[in-house]
Amino acid sequence: MGVECTGRNIEVTASVRELARRRTQKLERHLGGPASVRVVLSHEKHRFGAEIIATHRRRRWKAQEEMPDPRAALALAFEKIDAQAKKDLAKRRNHKHRAVAVPVSALSSEPGVAAAAGQASLPPLEARIVRSARQLSVKPMSAEEAALRLENSRQEFLVFRDSGSERISVLYKRRDGDFGLIVPEC
């Protein structure tokens, strides 16, 4: 982790340096590795500006913000950096795990249909069940607590026991950024 703080027309205080260090640690947890962050604070008239340049591996993100308070400007600029990094990582993850396109006629159960269409028939795709090596512990908590826990983790879903109804529930991350909740009927 490298955090470089520079001030233009302002002296960078220890509390601002500590805020930048803590936010960089949070960013590194999202990125999964060390990041280099350069923070430039400026002061003009009654406005404080914060410019942040963050680099991780070969990726680079930049954000600027102006506010009447230097800590607020720094916090909002880090929020922008976090959003950029999350979007970039999600785009790379979706691109990497994109499914292979299979023609619809190849999925047909009749081999003659695929041959009549002029395409080679493919063997039918088989779905496999792969068991996880780890056991899930089902802890009692509310849906809001589960959402907070899932938001701060890299997991896609969370199985928990709803503390209000004592039912097993599943909370998962949706592609649009929201959470989905599954409560089975027993």
pLDDT in tens, 1-55: 689 999 999 999 999 999 999 999 998 888 888 999 999 999 998 899 999 999 9
CATH code of the region 2-95? 3.30.160.100
The string over 70-98, giving b where at least 16 C-beta atoms fall within 10 Å of a residue's C-beta and e elsewhere, is bbebbbbbbebbbebbeeeeeeeeeeeee
Residue 179: partners with Cβ closer than 8 Å, 6 or more residues away: 147, 150, 171, 172, 173
Query: Do 2-95 and 133-186 have matching folds?
Result: no
Q: pLDDT tens-digit profile of 84-114?
A: 998 888 888 877 666 555 444 444 445 544 4
CATH number of the domain at 133-186, please?
3.30.505.50
Show me where the domains of the chain are located: 2-95, 133-186
Share of the chain above pLDDT 70, in %: 81
